[in-house]
Amino acid sequence: MDMRIALVPGDGIGPDIVREAVRVLDRIGEIYGHGISYTEIDAGGISIDRNKVPLTPQALEKAAASDAVLLGAVGGPKWDAMPGELRPEKALLGLRSGLGLFCNFRPAVLYPELAGASPLKESTIAGGVDLLVVRELTGGIYFGEKGRSEDGQSAYDVMRYTAGEIERIARKAFDAARIRRRRVTLVDKANVLETSRLWRETVSRVASSYPDVELDFMYVDNASMQLVRDPSHFDVLLTENMFGDILSDEASMITGSIGMLASASLREDSFGMYEPIHGSAPDIAGKDIANPIATILSTAMMLRYSFSLEKEARSIEEAVERALADGVRTADIAKDGEERIGTAECGDEILRRLV
Which parts of this chain interact with ligand NAD (CB under 6 A)?
A: 13, 73-76, 89, 92, 258-259, 275, 278-284, 290-291, 294, 332
As measured in angstroms, the least distance from the Cβ of 266 to ligand NAD is: 16
> Which of 32, 38, 142, 219 is the catalytic position?
142
* Residues constituting the chain: 355
Give CA–CA dist 240/218, Å, rounded: 13
Give CA–CA dist 309/300, Å, rounded: 9
> Which of 32, 130, 189, 288 is the catalytic position?
189
Examine the residue annotation and report whether 38 is marked as an active-site residue of this protein. no
As measured in angstroms, the least distance from the Cβ of 66 to ligand NAD is: 18
As measured in angstroms, the least distance from the Cβ of 46 to ligand NAD is: 12
Name the residue nearer to ligand NAD (CB basis): 41 or 213: 41
Q: Is 81 exposed, middle or buried (0-12, 13-18, 19+ CB in 10 A)?
A: exposed
Instruction: Enter the DSSP assignment of 132.
Output: E
Phi, psi of 121 (to 5 degrees): -65, 150
As measured in angstroms, the least distance from the Cβ of 52 to ligand NAD is: 18
Examine the residue annotation and report whether 189 is marked as an active-site residue of this protein. yes
Q: Are strands 183-188 and 155-157 parallel, antiparallel or unpaired?
A: unpaired
Examine the residue annotation and report whether 188 is marked as an active-site residue of this protein. no
Instruction: Enter the DSSP assignment of 334.
Output: P
Name the residue nearer to ligand NAD (CB basis): 20 or 136: 20
Examine the residue annotation and report whether 26 is marked as an active-site residue of this protein. no
Name the residue nearer to ligand NAD (CB basis): 92 or 169: 92
Examine the residue annotation and report whether 221 is marked as an active-site residue of this protein. yes
Residues 92, 29: contact at Cβ < 8 Å?
no
Name the residue nearer to ligand NAD (CB basis): 290 or 341: 290
Q: Which residues contact 182 (CB under 8 A, 6 or more apart)?
A: 212, 213, 214, 235
Q: What residues act catalytically?
A: 142, 189, 221, 245, 249
